[in-house]
Copies of this chain bind each other. A is one copy, B any other.
Amino acid sequence: MNAGADKFPSESNLNERLAHSGLRLTPQRQQVHEVLREKMDHPTADQVFMRAKSKMPEISMATVYNCLDALVQCGMVRQVTLDRGATRYCPNMQDHSHFYCDECGSVYDILQTITPEDSDIKLPRGFRLKNIETNLHGLCPDCASKAK
């Protein structure tokens, strides 16, 4: 029983996490999660839709949005908003920050980040801090060399 489970080491985890947020594990949520993990980049909802559709042709755009929201809500995916234009989704739940190239719009994971602790940020009374998002802006290697 449970054959192939080790092919997708994160799947049991996915179920647990969804359940923890009162959400069910569905084939669509699994699929969306899977296409995100297959290619660890930062696709838009539309790109996720196209990838998921190629494996599950009946899936709809609304469902992709629903699934992405569910996965974000239960902490399996991060939502990344770096500019005007479509929101991106990041399946890497390690602590990391994002480098955004203001020139070409590409996004890179940077495996360093600032945690609520080592930032000595003091918030006014009453605020409850959940997490810190750090976005690095600048030029990617390609654009930097072209800019010269």
Query: Which chain A residues have a beta carbon within 8 Å of chain B's beta carbons?
Result: 79, 81-84, 87, 97, 99, 102, 108, 110, 112, 114, 119-141, 144-145, 147
Instruction: Please state if A112 and B102 are interface contacts (CB–CB under 8 Å).
Output: no
Instruction: Please state if A123 and B136 are interface contacts (CB–CB under 8 Å).
Output: yes
Copies in the complex: 2
B residues in contact with A97, CB < 8 Å: 121
With A136-B123, A144-B127, A144-B128 known as contacts, the answer to whether A114 contacts B114 (CB < 8 A) is yes
B residues in contact with A124, CB < 8 Å: 141
B residues in contact with A133, CB < 8 Å: 134-137
Q: How long is the Cα–Cα vector from A112 to B102 in the complex, in angstroms? A: 23
Please pick, from B79, B87, B130, B138, the residue contacting A129 in the complex, using a CB distance under 8 A.
B138
Instruction: Please state if B130 and A102 are interface contacts (CB–CB under 8 Å).
Output: yes
